[in-house]
Amino acid sequence: MCSINPHDLIKINSIEKDINNSQILLTELLRNNTYKIKDDTLEAILTGNEICNNPLLIERMKKLDIHRVSYATGLNDGRALSKEFELLKNSEPKVIEQPKLYLVK
């Protein structure tokens, strides 16, 4: 512990604050609910579900971008669920045969 320079600790702390305070920008809206996001250092392509399920990304993104992504993701999930319900509604109900139980004495 004695060999650690306090100036290095201060520098590391300031760098980490800068990294944590930098905002992630939504740069492009791609097809199939995918988005290109950009930070000061990197750029990535993520799906709406990945963005909505990552609280670290949500903290660093603009609120308007978060609402845009979450709305589009919820809309797509709702449409997929509606299609599943429609398929179940149009299909014939399946009859499940109950197994016969026997009493063993």
pLDDT digit string (tens) for 3-42?
777 777 788 877 777 666 678 888 888 998 999 999 888 8
Q: What is the mean pLDDT of residues 61-75?
A: 92
Q: Which DSSP letter does residue 99 get? A: P
State residue 46 phi and psi, 5-degree precision.
Answer: -130, 155
Q: Residue 92: is its pLDDT beyond 80?
A: no
Locate the domains of the chain by residue range. 22-77
Pair of tokens at residue 100? 């016969």
Give the β-pairing of 25-30 and 34-38.
Answer: antiparallel
Total-model pTM: 0.65
Q: Using an 8 Å Cβ cutoff, are 59 and 68 in contact?
A: no
Asked if 30 contacts 43 with a C-beta cutoff of 8 angstroms, the reply is no
User: Residue 8: phi, psi to the nearest 5?
Assistant: -65, -40
